[in-house]
Amino acid sequence: MENLDLGVLSDVSTWMRAGHSVSLITVVETWGSAPRPPGALLAVRDDGVVSGSVSGGCVEDDLIARAKSEMQACTKHMEAKPSMLAYGIGKDEAARFGLPCGGCLRLVQEPLHDVAWIDAVLARAAAHRLVARTLTLATGEVTLQDALRSQPMKFDGLTLTTLFGPRWRLVLIGAGQLSQVVATMATALDFEVLVCDPREEYALTFDAKRTSGMRRVQGMPDDVVRELRPDAHTAIVALTHDPKLDDMALIEALVSDAFYVGALGSRRNQQARKLRLAEHFELTDAQLARLHGPVGLRLGARTSAEIAVSIVAEIVQAKNSLPLADTGVPLVVQAERSSLSALPCAVG
C-alpha cells in the first residue's frame, strides 16, 4: 500500500463529508507492462474531480466518464454494487487506450455509500497499524482486520482484500548537514521523517531549516527509538558520528522490527562498531548482521547530497524488498570478532 493511496482515501473522506458522491476504482490484476500495480486506487467525484491513478493516464478519461454518468443518476448510484472492468484485453483496445506493450488491466469499480470504514482505515494507519480491507462484490459489504506486512492482496472474483498501512517512516539520529539533505529527499518520497539530536546547536539549526513532513523528536536517541516502537514500516539511520549517541540508538534499532538500520562511517569504523556492540551489549550475530554500514549504495559519493542519494536509494531498495547490493565487507560477525579484536573503538 503506497502512501499516495492513503492520500486518496483522505480525499474521499473529505469529499463524502461535503456531500459528494464518490466512486472508488481499484486495480486488481495486471498483465504485460502496467503503469500502476495491483491495489492502486483512483477516486472519482460526481463533478469529475479525481484523486489517484490506476494507469498513469491511459484509461482515466474513460473511467471518469463512466463514473460520472452513474453518479449523475443519484438513485442508481446509491443502489449500485461493485462491478468489474477490464481494459486492453484485445490488441485493438490496448492500442485505443494507449496501454504500453500490450498491457492489460482488471479493475473493481465501487460506488461508495459509507465513510466509516475509510475513517477507520486512516485512523489505524495514523497509529502505525496495517489493516486488511475485504470487499464482497455481490453486496458491497466491507470488513476490516489487522494484517501483516507479508500478507498479499487477494482477489478471487468474489471478494477483494487490499492492504492499507502506515506511512513509511524514517528516523534520523543527528541533525547535521547530511541529515538535513537526507530528510529533504526522504520527505519528497513521502516518508514521515523524525529527527533526534540532543545537541542543542544542531537541533536549532535543523528547526530553522526543516520543512513540512519533518519533525524533531526531543530526548536521548536510545530513549526516542525505544519509545517509537519501530515497526516494519520504519527505517533508522544514525548520522552523528558520535558513538555515545549513535551506538545506543542502534542497539534499540537492531532489536526492533525496523526494516532498515544503517550507520554512517568508514568500513574500518563500521567493523569496530560491530565488534564494540557485540562485545559490550550482547547483541546476537543475526541482529548485528542487520546493520548496514557503510550506509548507502556504493555510488562513489563524495558530497553531502551524493551521500544522501546513496542512503535514500538503499532505504528505498530495502523498502521494496529488493536484494540489497554489496555495500562493503561481508557481515560475518564471528569472523569480525576474531580478526578485529585489535582494532580501537573508533568513532563510527
DSSP 71-134: HHSHHHHHH---EEEEE-SSHHHHHHHT-GGG-EEEEEEEE---SHHHHHHHHHHHTT--EEEE
Q: What does the alpha-carbon distance between residue 118 and residue 162 come to, in Å, rounded to a whole number?
A: 13
Cell of residue 146, nine digits: 489487522
Q: What does the alpha-carbon distance between residue 243 and residue 273 come to, in Å, rounded to a whole number?
A: 8
Quick one: pLDDT at residue 35? 64
124 alpha-carbon distance from chain centroid: 15
Contact by Cβ (8 Å): 143, 120: no
Cell of residue 82, nine digits: 461493485
Quick one: pLDDT at residue 328? 37
pTM: 0.71
Q: Which amino acid appears at position 113 of this protein?
A: H
CA distances from 105 to 53, 85, 89, 110, 318 (A): 13, 8, 8, 16, 27
Quick one: pLDDT at residue 20? 94
> DSSP 3-state assignment of 22?
strand
Quick one: pLDDT at residue 181? 94
Model confidence pLDDT, tens digit, residues 237-266? 999 989 899 999 999 999 999 999 999 988
Contact by Cβ (8 Å): 275, 336: yes
Q: What does the alpha-carbon distance between residue 332 and residue 285 come to, in Å, rounded to a whole number?
A: 8
Relative to beta strand 142-146, strand 104-111 is: unpaired
Q: What does the alpha-carbon distance between residue 242 and residue 73 come to, in Å, rounded to a whole number?
A: 65
Quick one: pLDDT at residue 323? 56
Sheet holding 154-155, edge to edge: 142-146, 131-136, 159-164, 154-155
Structural domains of the chain in order of their starting residue, each with its CATH number: 3-164 (no CATH), 169-339 (3.40.50.720)
Closest C-alpha to 195, from 176, 212, 174, 210:
174
Per-residue DSSP letters for 253-320?
HHTS--SEEEE-S-HHHHHHHHHHHHHHH---HHHHTTEE-S-S--S---SHHHHHHHHHHHHHHHHT
Quick one: pLDDT at residue 59? 82
Quick one: pLDDT at residue 322? 64
CA distances from 33 to 27, 37, 49, 104 (A): 14, 10, 27, 8
Quick one: pLDDT at residue 135? 96
| Low-confidence residues of the chain: pLDDT under 50 | 94, 97, 101, 325-348
Contacting residues for 204 by C-beta, under 8 A, at least 6 apart: none
Q: What does the alpha-carbon distance between residue 88 and residue 105 come to, in Å, rounded to a whole number?
A: 7
> DSSP 3-state assignment of 188?
helix
Quick one: pLDDT at residue 321? 78
195 alpha-carbon distance from chain centroid: 17
